[in-house]
Amino acid sequence: MQELQYPFDSRYLIKKKKSIKRQLLEQDVHFIDKKIAVLGGSTTHDICAIMELFLLDQGIRPEFYECEYAQYWEDVMFDNPELVDFKPDIIYIHTSNRNIRQYPLLSMSEAEVDGLLDADFDHFFKLWGKIESAYNCPIIQNNFEYPFYRLLGNADATDIHGRVSYINRLNERFAGYAREHKDFFIQDINYLSAAYGLDKWSDPLYWHMYKYALSMEAIPTLAHNVSNIIKSIYGKNKKALALDLDNTLWGGIVGDDGVENLEIGPETSMGQVYSEFQNYLKQQKDIGVILNVCSKNEEENAIAGLNHPDGVLKPDDFIVIKANWDPKSKNLADMAKELNLLPESFVFVDDNPAEREIVRTQLNVVSPEIGSVEDYIRVIDHSGFFEVTNLSADDAKRNEMYKENAQRAKLEASFDNYGDYLISLEMKGTIKGFEPIYMDRIAQLSNKSNQFNLTTRRYTRAEIEGIAGSDEYIDIYGKLEDKFGDNGVVSVVIGHKNGDVLDMDLWIMSCRVLKRDMEFAMMDELVSKARTAGIKTIRGYYYPTAKNKMVKDFYALMGFDLVNEDEEGNRTWEFKVPGDYENKNRYISVNQM
Amino acid sequence: MSREEIYVRLNEVFRDVFDRDDITVSDETTAADVEGWDSLIHITLMDAVEEEFDIRFDMKTVVKMKNVGEMVDYIIKGTA
């Protein structure tokens, strides 16, 4: 919903939250349900209410648990049975500088201030440790915003007795904990409140009247931000940018003005601001965002513009360049198909409001109101499309992988026989039980895969670790390399044992390795492991979603028999593990490295 | 702005906040008269009224306000 896109009108959202919620729930969306415990050190009512709107807009339907006023610590430490029964999927601890129990006094020695800091940190350290052991779920924790006054003026930041100094040190300790703990995420309200305006953020009226640690109007900013962390944890980040060229990546119209007259580079103010934007986009590649061009232009002119000597982005930085006169909605849909992505995984960036509106309404693709060129970075950045919660090595390499895919497509076209093409790829697979170094990637894949996904079950890293360490499961990951490069972990299979039956909980594969025999290689390994474990029957399940039609008959292809299908299209399949199983994979050499 | 004009806009705000079209408030209306008007929705309401009339309630006013009539008095003062 456009009203919920940054830059949103906070007061409108506050006033209309009931009717907005109604509209969101009426949409034809397949929501995922998540239980979110909000443990506050201040009032949290409206934070939940507004957070709900942003989450619904991301396809997540939250159920909230709120602790009694300011009981964030007691609820966890003393096992409040209501919280225990709630079984949260995520715990969000919303505290603020109002919850710091004691600040340094000017009379304290350095050692005393250090002691105070240790005690304040320890209070939270114990809380997080207890959550990890008792709930084993992701934790989102606010750091602290700056105080709204400074007793020592500017020296508040340097003197160890200053509150600013104290909060800086405490925040650094929080960040250190986050670096060392998976499934622990800091919500940086220190930054958020600064960007918002600290005086407006911490208006004392809201604390003294209502016990809110921030003003009502700042709540949507807070809620939007935390919803971005949550959607990122559940794999709902955007994946790609589709960028217009003229007056978006440079000033001017390349077809009319000519390459030499474009505003890009250090010569003019306008040139500089476009350079900064191009630089920002180039950095997105490092976190795995795929860059593409979607422009109404002659292709020749588009390429010439991108080869401008002062440009930061070059044709080579993009995976797909669509420069023609077709409607942008069509180009974007084609682009998605070529990249094996869903259109909704894209963010469309265009200076022309009419183009934005067409793409939004035709494709349900997000396209921010980016404003004037000097606003572009802030709007895209604060939107949080690509919020990083789980940066894996694959992310940094993603653009490279898509490039390699384009080369594979070229090679494929040069062969008449598909089998010859597969042989020429010289594929090597590693197919094994879960290993510690891949836990992040396995969890990430389980949250990102929508199309080749039989059950659409999502797993956190902690759950993946639990499965890996248990005898009750057969768990397999598959990694695929070929002569063009390493695709990384691309397939995951999990089944749980039920006597001599194995019930399949998960079977997923990245679409970028479709039709490479990888699914057969996974099946071969599954059968081999099942046989070793004394399994007689493997039972497969297919649960239809809006996105996974492509695997409706997957188990038939693997040699399973359909034993049941209900009116909703849920299917159950069975495979009798034979004594003499012949491997189905013919092209990948498995575990030979 | 006349009292009547204020009430036209104020009723609209109440209807938005409570998401109900049948609400009409008057000078004597208090929180007890409107279903669902609890301390939590009160905060939303104050914010929405501030936005509608481009005014700011200070703490002293918020603490003292007894009924809708007093709210309208304050709006008249603030927008005069």
List average pLDDT for each run of 10 residues in chain B, which is 80 residues long: 93 94 93 90 93 92 90 89
The answer to whether the Cβ–Cβ distance between A216 and B18 falls below 8 Å is: no
Question: Does residue A282 sit in helix, strand or coil?
Answer: helix
> For chain A, which residues make up each domain, given as ranges?
2-233, 240-383, 411-590
**pTM higher than 0.90:** no
Measured CA angle at A300 (ends A294, A306), to 5 deg: 65
Structure-token match 């000033």, residue found = A251
Comparing CA positions, the residue from A567, A512, A513 lying closest to residue A544 is A567
The answer to whether the Cβ–Cβ distance between B47 and A205 falls below 8 Å is: no
β-strand pairing of A473-482 with A428-432: antiparallel
What pLDDT is recorded for position A399?
Answer: 78
Comparing CA positions, the residue from A134, A161, A136, A135 lying closest to residue A147 is A161
Residues 6+ apart with CB under 8 A from A149: none
| CATH topology identical between A2-233 and A240-383 | yes
Amino acid at position A470, single letter? S
What pLDDT is recorded for position B7?
Answer: 95
Residues 6+ apart with CB under 8 A from A227: A51, A54, A55, A58, A60
Tell whether B13 lies on the interface with A, counting CB pairs under 8 A.
yes
The answer to whether the Cβ–Cβ distance between A17 and B43 falls below 8 Å is: no
What pLDDT is recorded for position A515?
Answer: 86
Tell whether B12 lies on the interface with A, counting CB pairs under 8 A.
no
Closest-CA residue of chain B to A219: B44
What pLDDT is recorded for position A476?
Answer: 97
What number is the ipTM of this complex?
A: 0.86
The 8-class DSSP code of residue B2 comes to -
Tell whether B19 lies on the interface with A, counting CB pairs under 8 A.
yes
Tokens encoding A380:
């895209």
Gap between the Cα atoms of A525 and A292, Å rounded: 37
| Interface contacts A/B by beta carbons within 8 Å | 41
Q: How far is B17 from chain A (nearest CA, A)?
A: 5
The answer to whether the Cβ–Cβ distance between A18 and B43 falls below 8 Å is: no
Please provide the size of chain B in residues: 80
**Cβ pair A200, A155 in contact under 8 A:** no
A240-383 CATH fold: Rossmann fold (3.40.50)
Architecture of domain A2-233: 3-Layer(aba) Sandwich (3.40)
Optimal mutation site among A9, A18, A206, interface B, most CBs of chain B within 10 A: A18
- Chain A residues whose C-beta is within 8 A of a chain B C-beta are 11, 14-19, 22, 45-46, 205-206, 208-210, 212, 216-217
**Residues in chain A, pLDDT under 50:** none
Q: How far is A14 from chain B (nearest CA, A)?
A: 6
Q: How far is B1 from chain A (nearest CA, A)?
A: 23
Architecture of domain B3-79: Orthogonal Bundle (1.10)
Gap between the Cα atoms of B1 and B25, Å rounded: 18
CB nearest to B17's CB, from A15, A22, A209: A15
Optimal mutation site among B43, B61, B63, interface A, most CBs of chain A within 10 A: B43
H, E, C per residue of A230-247: HHHHCCCCCCEEEECCEC
The H or E element containing residue A398 is helix A393-413
What pLDDT is recorded for position A393?
Answer: 67
The answer to whether the Cβ–Cβ distance between B19 and A11 falls below 8 Å is: no
Q: How far is A115 from chain B (nearest CA, A)?
A: 38
Closest-CA residue of chain B to A217: B47
What pLDDT is recorded for position B79?
Answer: 82
Gap between the Cα atoms of A201 and A246, Å rounded: 38
Residues 22-61 (B) with a CB less than 8 A from some CB of A? 39-40, 43-44, 47-48, 51, 58-59
CATH code given to domain A411-590:
3.40.630.30
The answer to whether the Cβ–Cβ distance between A209 and B62 falls below 8 Å is: yes
Gap between the Cα atoms of A65 and A235, Å rounded: 23
Optimal mutation site among B9, B19, B63, interface A, most CBs of chain A within 10 A: B19
Tokens encoding A462:
């902690």
The answer to whether the Cβ–Cβ distance between B16 and A19 falls below 8 Å is: yes
Sign of the torsion angle spanned by Cα atoms A255, A256, A260, A264? negative
